[in-house]
Amino acid sequence: MANPSKTRGTAWESAVRDHLNEALGLVDETGRLKDIFSALNVRRAAQEGVKDVGDVHCPPFVLECKDVKSPAVPTWLRQAHVEAFHAGYPYGVVVHKLRRANVRLGRVHFGVRTWTRVRVALGVSTREMCERYAFAPAVRGLDSGRWYLTTDVEHFTQLVADMRAGVP
């Protein structure tokens, strides 16, 4: 019998991958990738060796996907940053599943530094970044290492599309 937590996690990773590929226009009407060799395709990463490279690669992001009841976002974000580094990607974020909700409503968490680097890469103000992509801050105590910003998968998809297009 398969591990139910592993099965649930794999299903969430696949749902995130499939949603992003569809929303970014990378699949045809049958759900197949238009160009299987495109570096822009969203893929579930195969684990190789001892250095984890994240769950889903959505250039320029590595996504750490979590389907658990009790969130531990700061810990997950540290994990996502390490995995992005191992994979050679500039940004690591966490995608947390909401119970009984469509994948597009999943929560996407950014560490403050990652969020700032993405905002600067897009060339937008703090206010514009929050408004355009529906980010909300979470401040946990005085330790800024525990602070993060959250949006949903739907707005994250637009952010990815804008980054890829170089839209300011």
Q: Please, which residues bridge with residue 61 across strands?
A: 58, 91
d(CA 65, CA 99): 14
Question: Which stretches of the chain drop beneath a pLDDT of 50?
Answer: none
Instruction: Report the pLDDT value the prediction gives residue 168, as an integer from 0 to 100.
Output: 66
| pLDDT given at position 49 | 66
CATH 3.10.310 applies to domain 4-165 = yes
Question: Residue 43: enclosing H or E segment and its boundaries?
Answer: strand 43-44
Pull the structure tokens for residue 163.
Answer: 């980054």
pLDDT score, position 142:
75
Q: Which residue has the tokens 């966490």?
A: 94
Taking CA atoms, 1 is separated from 7, 12, 14, 46, 162, in Å, by 10, 19, 20, 22, 43
- How do the domains of the chain map onto residue ranges? 4-165
- For 17-28, b/e burial (b = at least 16 CB within 10 A) is bebbbebbebbe
DSSP class per residue in 112-161: HHHHHHHHHHHT--HHHHHHHHT-EEE--SS-GGG-EEEEEHHHHHHHHH
Tokens of 43: 């893929």
